[in-house]
A and B are shown apart, each in its own frame.
Chain A
Amino acid sequence: MFPSPPALGRLPLFLAALVVALLALLGVAFQGQWVRMNVPGASSPVVPAMVLEVARCLEREGVRDFRVAGSLREDAEAYQRLVEVAWPVEVSDGSPVLVVRSQELHALCRGARTLCRVREVTVAACVR
């Protein structure tokens, strides 16, 4: 009723053995990567340390949204990385929480209450 198996000789067996051997080799070669892959929130080395630390600060402080201003906002790469990494803490231009380079804090934030300071960047709650 059903067709007889194809006459492929030992080819499938050979291919299966090859795949198993390759997977074993890859498992050994990429052991470190496998560990990182299974860590929730593990980030790529291309993400600047400042961005990671700001994102952690926002999460720790229970912030729901934030805005970026000044020269940090003009730095497209830093801004985009910050927005990507911080999500689901959303970027919103109406937020009272400001992420800004420390030297620009008082010019851009009225009644600043510093939440955390990360390298050259300050996260602060402003009066709007």
Chain B
Amino acid sequence: MPLAFVSLFAVGVFGLGAWVYPARALDGRLPVGGLFVSGVLGLAACHSLVYAGAPTWTSVAVAIAGGGAGMATLAWRARASSGARLEAAPSSVLRAAGLAAVALLPGVRLLTEPLGDYDARSIWFFQGKIIFFEGGLLSNAWTKPELAFARTDYPKLIPLLAAQAGTLAGYWNDYWPKAGLLVLLALLMIGLHSLPFRTPVVWATAVLMLLLEDEAGGHLLSNGYADGYLAGFLLLATAQLGMFLIVPSRRSLWLGLASLALAAQLKNEGIVAASMLLVLFGAAALVRGQRRAVGVRLEWSMVIPFLPVFLWFVLRARLGIGNEMAGHATWATVRGRLGDPSFWDLFARHLLREAPLAVALLASLALAAFLPRDLRRGRAAGIGLALAGFTGYAALLAAAFLATPFPLEWHLQRSLARLSHSATALLWAALLLGWAGRRHEERVL
């Protein structure tokens, strides 16, 4: 029975966003991309309610009640806007079937494996448990020094989904709340379906997501960590925004911004990475003058996916929630490590030990051989966005470890593997834009 409620909630979330998603953004194409944006908007709408002080059950009720009607609206708008082209092409069904097959493993594990891994228990789902028992986000628990280990300053997308799943079931245990992550898994797969690349490339990207592991071999899409989803949504955002810089379309702009908003709601690294990518993207778009060239206008509703991030910052300030790690970091530590060759040696050795990153680095070197031709075809801005994003994220990682108040070797061993997956994802996005999109951008977009 709880599974039925969770499914109903998931459908509701996807339908809820349809109220605000503009039909013309579908560009007369199969509304899979529209479904992704609608899901992101739906999550933003029901989570914003909780950030604004509403009880968790209200957000669940709103999602379910408003979602069904929203789904109908989305279908009606899609029919009205795309007419005879609404039907699913066999290639689209085949792509969806492959992605569903890839999603089956993490989906089953989300539903059947209990919470076990450290951060999932102590950070994300413990916060979810607090929200579940407090009935919402307004609680003095977030400022208790005894709970500093739970990183209470982190954004609350995963804890809220867990609390909503618990609310739907009517109880808390170490199994059900993980079902809340099915919404993120569905969004990731729908987002991958919307990538403007060939189906085998999209499948390969989904398999790459499946292979992302933490330092203990836990699978990051199913063990309750945020890092796998952060890598996935950063990849989607960079690929779509990069594609916008190559062949501008309202669809890729919406999909890119919606993915970026999800990344920013997952964890603090996501907020920094999303801000960095937004600045890079804005600068590249202005330089290329694409806003005027193709008539793609910025719409106010594009801000809605980011609403939960803003509301979380407001709530943090209101409740006085600080960042524990930042509070302990000192300039002396940073200066000491900055000039210490053993730090860089240790950092590089740990970083290069990560197989997916090493593969992506090698592939990027191969890609460099094609760059001169790509530059002539005006593809540099797209590839450059992904590569600049990768460089910035790598710098962010280095800065985090330069400043860490924890023992360096322990901290590197405990978190660099999973944190580096977002860097891998950004490199992968560069590869997709440079190689996989080469022959198909004109046909697909």
Contacts of A127 in B (CB 8 A): none
Query: Considering only CB atoms, which chain B residue lies closest to A45 in the complex?
Result: B114
* Majority secondary structure of chain B interface residues (helix, strand, loop or mixed): helix
CA distance A35 to B145 in the complex (A): 37
CA distance A26 to B110 in the complex (A): 13
Interface residues on A, range: 35 or more
Q: How many residues of B contact A (CB 8 A)?
A: 42
Determine if A114 is an interface residue (Cβ-Cβ < 8 Å). no
> Restricting to B108-163, which residues have a CB under 8 Å from any CB of A?
108, 111-116, 121-122, 126, 129-130, 133-134, 141, 144-147, 149
Checking A2, A11, A37, A91 against B175 with a beta-carbon cut-off of 8 angstroms, the contacting residue is: A37
CA distance A42 to B144 in the complex (A): 26
CA distance A47 to B121 in the complex (A): 10
User: A43-B174, A76-B149 known; A92 and B144 CB under 8 Å?
Assistant: yes
Query: Considering only CB atoms, which chain B residue lies closest to A95 in the complex?
Result: B146
B174 touches A44 (CB 8 A): yes
Checking A8, A30, A81, A88 against B133 with a beta-carbon cut-off of 8 angstroms, the contacting residue is: A88
B111 touches A37 (CB 8 A): yes
Binds A, one of B33-41, B80-88, B365-373: B80-88
Query: Considering only CB atoms, which chain A residue lies closest to B149 in the complex?
Result: A80
A84 touches B121 (CB 8 A): yes
Query: Considering only CB atoms, which chain B residue lies closest to A77 in the complex?
Result: B118
Determine if A20 is an interface residue (Cβ-Cβ < 8 Å). no
A30 touches B126 (CB 8 A): no
User: A6-B89, A45-B114, A90-B141 known; A40 and B172 CB under 8 Å?
Assistant: yes
Determine if B306 is an interface residue (Cβ-Cβ < 8 Å). no
Contacts of A39 in B (CB 8 A): 173
Checking A8, A19, A42, A83 against B174 with a beta-carbon cut-off of 8 angstroms, the contacting residue is: A42
CA distance A41 to B99 in the complex (A): 33
> Restricting to A62-105, which residues have a CB under 8 Å from any CB of B?
76, 79-81, 83-84, 87-88, 90-93
Determine if B176 is an interface residue (Cβ-Cβ < 8 Å). yes
A55 to nearest B CB, angstroms? 12
Which residues in B have some Cβ–Cβ distance to A below 8 Å? 2, 79, 83-90, 93-94, 97, 100, 104, 108, 111-116, 121-122, 126, 129-130, 133-134, 141, 144-147, 149, 170-176
Which residues in A have some Cβ–Cβ distance to B below 8 Å? 2-6, 8, 11-12, 15, 19, 22, 26, 30, 33-34, 36-47, 76, 79-81, 83-84, 87-88, 90-93
State the 6 A-B residue pairs at the shortest beta-carbon distance, nearest first: A40-B171, A44-B114, A6-B87, A37-B175, A88-B133, A44-B174
